[in-house]
A and B are shown apart, each in its own frame.
Chain A
């Protein structure tokens, strides 16, 4: 089991009802982790619509994560 910190923004923050949480997870990949959170919080966005950042750096979905990492799933952006 791995303990990670999650931060939520925009629609994910609203749907989770919080801007962040710590989670003990058995997920073996970032994709599995999002699936777990989607079930837990009822996120409407499919994983294909998201990017992901680990420890404040954009990461590819194949990246491993470890104890204490901060993970942010990034909904479609709209700056400018």
Chain B
């Protein structure tokens, strides 16, 4: 299975999870991003995701590969929806299986943070009042732990 996918239709997370099962894995961590009913004080009716698919697929694959290499996890996958979504729908699914829990949590966090900043995907919010707006990612990059240079580490 590819490490990253785009889907124009709803996907069953159980199937994505099953694909990550492995006899060497003792831990599994998933993150689901859902469409929320408000953003910055405005009531949201639904979302529209648009992707530059060719580049998004390549970059998504790169991000999940990085997480696997960086945290040494056994399997990982990220699915991102495109098209029109209603409140409560699954917009993004990330799953990681690994020998132990810690690297699964960290890899999951790495993937969602990088997805938000690097994937050429755009989100248009549709508000209950009929207005719409393209939303820009406003989060701080690198919320997952950056690799620290040796000089910044505590001695000993």
List A residues at the B interface (Cβ < 8 Å). Answer: 7, 9-11, 13, 53, 56-58, 72, 74-80
Contact = CB atoms under 8 A, between A and B. Distances in A.
A10 B119 contact: no
Contacts of B52: 7, 9, 53, 72, 74
Contacts of B50: 9-10, 13
Given A77-B118, A80-B116, A53 B55 contact: yes
Given A10-B124, A53-B55, A78 B80 contact: no
B122 A10 contact: yes
B152 to A, nearest CB: 28
A76 B137 CA distance: 7
The 3 closest A-B pairs by CB, nearest first: A10-B122, A79-B121, A76-B136
A79 B123 contact: yes
A79 B116 CA distance: 5
**Interface size of B as a range:** 20 to 34
A78 B115 contact: no
B30 to A, nearest CB: 14
Contacts of A78: 116, 121-123, 134-137
B10 interface: no
Nearest to A51: B120
B136 A57 contact: no
A63 B98 CA distance: 40
B91 interface: yes
11 contacts: A10-B124, A53-B120, A56-B54, A72-B52, A76-B137, A77-B116, A78-B135, A78-B137, A79-B49, A79-B123, A80-B115
A77 B134 contact: no
Interface string B119-148: 111111000000000111100000000000
Interface in B30-44: 33
Nearest to B121: A79
Contacts of A58: 55, 59
